[in-house]
Chain A
Amino acid sequence: MAEPDSDDSLNPMSILIDELQNEDIQLRINSINKLSTIALALGVEKTRKLLAVVEEAIVREKAVESLRAISHEHSPSHLEDHFVPLVKRLVGGDLVNSRISACSLFSVCYPGVSIAIKAELLQCFRDLCSDDNLLVRCAAASNLGDFAKVLEIDDIKSEIIPIFSNLASDEQDSVRLLMVEMCVNIAQLLPQEALEALVMITLCHAGEDTSWRVRYMVADKFTELQTAVGPEITKTGLVPAFQNLMKDYEPEVRAAASHKLKEFCENLSADYRENVILTEILPFSQELVSDTNQHVRSALASVIMGLCPILGKDNTIEHLMPLFLALLRDECSDVRLNIISNLNCVKEVIGIQELSKFLLPTIMELAEDAKWRVRLVIVEYMPLLAGQFGLEFFDAQLHSLCMSWLVDHVYAIREAATNNLKKLVEQFGKEWALATVIPRVLTLSEEPNYLHRMTTLFCINVLSEVCGQDITTKHMLPTVLYMAGDPVANVRFNVAKSLQKIGSILENSTLQTEVKPILEKLTQDRDVDVKYFAQEALTVLFLA
């Protein structure tokens, strides 16, 4: 390798740095990937510093990550000689970006250095936490927990807690909301006695913050807070806080709290859990069921079924079923869907009879909803329902529904319904298919609408697999062959495609005597696509 120039022109590091700004993304990525190797080999501080100042956040973040990785390779004296000065330079930098990058570097170099340097680093960190620039304070705030992890308990109490209090009452809500998560991190490091005094007070303030985003964070991190503070404080402090969040006037906060409802209840201590849920939580949930905002109701609907196993059969029937019913009749289809999709836990608890009693009308309604995506979810849910309810029930109540989907206006529904048939046959068997499904499918081939006639072919495609050679040859093949004379070309070439598909399970004699002549006739069709697919089928089936 040639020697680097000894004059002022920049060394190879600059090329890499230059390529970091290259328009070609691949070059930029290559440079970043090579950074830690090269930095270790050459030990160039300038590289690290320049990268930490680049405006593209992703580049900065990768650079900082690399620096953190490198720091582990440093011996304590190296850290003091090289790494800490680097951090100090970044802290003292004019550009905001350098100070932001510095925030993430404290936790990795603090443990290895001397007491004196530790004090200096702490001071630097304190400065960043009270920086004028909002973005710097936010970066420092988000690293508070990480930094606290490498400190001694006493230091946490004397250094971190005051910083935490200051940031938690920062005038900007962007900083305050970060403190909620930090609260969780710090709470995990402190002994129980210290928690009540500090954490709960901060939590209460945050829960009543005038900025909705801070309250939202409290709701979002609620279950983590619950784990961090333990059962005693949960009962006395967190339950009232949760109630407040559920009746917050900002819908975003109520929705966030609703999302956490099930988890919060599950994590309550078993000795008081049932009581607390029934007396403290459910009344508020009832209010949320008729919340004006649909996202809140939707969030509630997605989790509330999870309370059934916790409360048991009697409580479920008495207290939860009314809520489910109300949500099932909600005007917003998302809400109704969320209930339907989570029925399993309810079924386990109260049994299929009770379930089907209140469920069926709504399923029927949703299955005919004006929005096709709503109908689609029901179609896709059908095999599961069928499996849970059993054959008799299905035949009585749901069968005609499944058949009607085959002629839905929307193709996506017809397609899903076809696949649905396959799963049903897999569950209930081919005898059942022969008795109930296949006749209906075959009558579709007489429909005036060619789309329905094609549906017959698509159904036969999937049914042939599960029904086997016998049924296919005796009952389905004749119809396929008959449809080769259909007036619409789309139907005819789909016949060719169908024959190609089901040909693989037919007997060779059948292929030769019945399939081949039809396909050969289709190769002489006046439509070019029919000819193409017919030829294709002949080739694939080795009949050509």
Chain B
Amino acid sequence: MNLERRQEHTICGLSSWSSRLGALTQDTLWCFSQLKGTVEIGATEADIISTVEFNHTGELLATGDKGGRVVIFQREQESKNQVHRRGEYNVYSTFQSHEPEFDYLKSLEIEEKINKIRWLPQQNAAYFLLSTNDKTVKLWKVSERDKRPEGYNLKDEEGRLRDPATITTLRVPVLRPMDLMVEATPRRVFANAHTYHINSISVNSDYETYMSADDLRINLWNFEITNQSFNIVDIKPANMEELTEVITAAEFHPHHCNTFVYSSSKGTIRLCDMRASALCDRHTKFFEEPEDPSNRSFFSEIISSISDVKFSHSGRYIMTRDYLTVKVWDLNMENRPIETYQVHDYLRSKLCSLYENDCIFDKFECVWNGSDSVIMTGSYNNFFRMFDRNTKRDVTLEASRENSKPRAILKPRKVCVGGKRRKDEISVDSLDFSKKILHTAWHPSENIIAVAATNNLYIFQDKVN
């Protein structure tokens, strides 16, 4: 289809296009949309993106980095005039969320790196998000100001105080429009509740509470109360020498405000119901796949550690990511997952060297698309993978500057395991393990994805054929 016909097609189909739920069919192609972030030279470690999250409407996209900063992008309104640009994301607000701190009692530095950002559902004109580092969770309010009062009695236009003696008449200040200003203010600080490093936060569907999870404990907070939290899970053994597993991720059910899951370093997921008891030490459901004896190795336990757990939008399934696979579980079946997808099985024979360079401990995240039909997760060499649960097709794409021409279609990539390497393939040994995609996000209703590659944020959109 040539450009003009495509535009025509786009004008007609614009409304249905923007509300179409994502589905990775044979015809879906992904193309480059935007690249955010500093250029290679001058990039510091502080710029490394550590979390990416769309808000509930997809209008806003937040990123957090190692330097404790949060950058929020806003999607521009689509207009008929610029039909070829499908709502690009532009910087809306930037603020410093966390600063480095020092724990005097333990003589340890507390990193300012943002581990997670979670949006609250919108309740009025302002936006609210939670951001957390290792120890402290903060609630930020992001609001717009487009009017300011003018015509004060005691101050002049520059803000200087007037001499009261010079005032002869009284006037009432009125609000006049001004350039849009977006301000971010910290509304709550939830501190001093975690001995270990916070790995997850999750907002409850009751809009009143949220939880924060560290290696051994999960705490329940009320948004209004910052000096108190309830401990709902505590897996710390009486004798620390007996410690065998830690909590790796936790999330509330999207609709049932009393249900949540948490995953462990032993590859298990526990589902708990807060109505059953105040301290959810006993799980309601326990998900574990029996080990495949043929695959057993020295590294089996390490690679079975779950790095991320996510409920599907429907609330019926959970997806877990361990080092080599992504698994989908049905909440009604505890003894094995219903689907298992190999992310980069070619690494199985390389586990030894990956252990030596610590890559085996990388924590990859995973995401669902809006209709729960496609799942996505990252890999090395700036590759990321998508799996269509219906068609069982999968694709590997790459986030790289070479493919960053506007609307350039991403070519599927392939890793060659051994033997003859084809022209476009890349061999396992040539993979760059320093380029890892740990954090990705999928727009809640459209086929727009955000992929964080070290200090760069790539935004891709699908293309109608």
Contacts and interface: CB of A to CB of B under 8 A. Distances in A.
Interface of A: 1-2, 4-5, 9-12, 14-15, 18, 23, 53-55, 57, 95-97, 134-135, 172-174, 210-213, 249-252
Contacts, number: 66
B175 A54 contact: no
Contacts of B257: 134, 172, 174
B169 interface: yes
Nearest to A19: B149
A14 B175 contact: yes
A11 B258 CA distance: 46
Most chain B CB within 10 A, of A10, A55, A57, A173, is at A55
Nearest to A216: B278
Nearest to B148: A18
Contacts of B169: 2
Given A12-B172, A54-B124, A134-B257, A250 B206 contact: no
Contacts of B173: 12, 15
Contacts of B185: 23
A10 B151 CA distance: 13
A250 B276 CA distance: 8
A172 B208 CA distance: 14
Contacts of A251: 278
Contact of B170 (A1, A53, A95): A1
A2 B173 CA distance: 10
Interface string B31-75: 000000000000000000000000000000000000000000000
A252 B278 contact: yes
A244 B149 CA distance: 62
B224 interface: yes
B138 to A, nearest CB: 16
Nearest to A55: B124
A9 B174 CA distance: 7
Nearest to B145: A21
Contact of B123 (A55, A173, A249, A250): A55
Given A134-B207, A173-B275, 15 more contacts: A1-B172, A5-B172, A10-B175, A12-B173, A15-B173, A15-B174, A53-B124, A135-B207, A173-B258, A210-B275, A210-B276, A211-B275, A211-B276, A212-B278, A249-B277
A92 to B, nearest CB: 16
B277 A212 contact: yes
Contacts of B172: 1-2, 4-5, 11-12, 15
Nearest to A96: B123
Nearest to B126: A55
Nearest to B147: A18
B206 A135 contact: yes
A170 B171 CA distance: 55
B5 interface: no
A5 B174 contact: yes
A251 B276 CA distance: 12
A4 B151 CA distance: 12
The 10 closest A-B CB pairs, nearest first, are A211-B275, A9-B174, A252-B278, A2-B171, A12-B172, A55-B124, A10-B175, A250-B277, A14-B175, A173-B275
Given A4-B172, A14-B175, A95 B124 contact: yes
B176 interface: yes
B176 A9 contact: yes
B125 to A, nearest CB: 9
Contacts of A252: 278
A206 B224 CA distance: 27
Interface in B142-171: 147, 149, 169-171
A457 to B, nearest CB: 34
A23 B141 CA distance: 12
A132 to B, nearest CB: 12
Nearest to B173: A15
Contacts of B206: 134-135, 174
Contacts of B277: 212, 249-250
Contacts of B174: 5, 9-10, 14-15
B124 A213 contact: no
Nearest to A57: B224
Contacts of A4: 172
Contacts of A95: 123-124
A53 B258 CA distance: 27
Nearest to B141: A55
A135 B222 CA distance: 13
Contacts of B276: 210-212
A18 B149 CA distance: 8
A15 B124 contact: no
Nearest to A97: B123
16 contacts: A2-B171, A4-B172, A5-B174, A9-B175, A10-B174, A15-B175, A55-B124, A55-B126, A134-B206, A134-B257, A173-B275, A210-B275, A211-B258, A249-B277, A250-B278, A252-B278
Nearest to A214: B275
Contact of A135 (B149, B170, B208): B208
A2 B257 CA distance: 53
Contacts of B207: 96, 134-135
B124 A2 contact: no
Contacts of B147: 18
A210 B171 CA distance: 63
A5 B277 CA distance: 60
Contacts of A11: 172
A11 B123 CA distance: 26
B433 to A, nearest CB: 45
A251 B224 CA distance: 26
B170 A2 contact: yes
Most chain B CB within 10 A, of A9, A95, A210, A251, is at A9
A314 B270 CA distance: 53
Contacts of A2: 169-172
Most chain A CB within 10 A, of B149, B169, B207, is at B149
Contacts of A172: 257
Contacts of A1: 170, 172
